[in-house]
Amino acid sequence: MATILRTNGTRERLFGEGPQHQIPAEGGGFHIEHELTLEQLHAAVGGHIELVMHRTSIGTLKAGMLLVVNEEGMRRGLPTNVAASLLAGQPIVGDVVLASTSEVT
């Protein structure tokens, strides 16, 4: 399940409204995840999106996870997002969505 990391330090769950997928769960079984729609991602970050993703763990952002950020955040002077910057191991600005790669295609 995706989470919006806000620049003010708050977090908010974001439930996908797109197609659903069965994802293997730890310890066996499956759980269902819905893809996030482009409209949901635009609304959450306040504009066009850019993905920050790594194939291996970096900072504390684990492999298979990604941050969806505002593509124009730096140019627009959005405030620093401390939590997202720590996860990514690089400066991140604006509200972001933390999601698994299965939620964003």
Task: Tell me which DSSP letter residue 8 carries.
Answer: T
Checking if the pLDDT of 68 tops 60, the result is yes
In a domain, 39, yes or no: yes
pLDDT of residue 31 exceeding 70, the answer is: no
**Average pLDDT, whole number, for the chain?**
84
User: Residue 39: pLDDT band by 50, 70, 90 thresholds?
Assistant: very high
What single string gives the DSSP state of each residue in 16-40? --S-EEEEEPTTSSEEEEEPPPHHH
Q: Which residue segment(s) compose the domain that 80 sits in?
A: 2-100
Residue 105 covered by a domain: no
Q: Is the pLDDT of residue 87 over 60?
A: yes
Q: How many domains does the chain contain in total? A: 1
Q: What is the pTM of this model?
A: 0.80
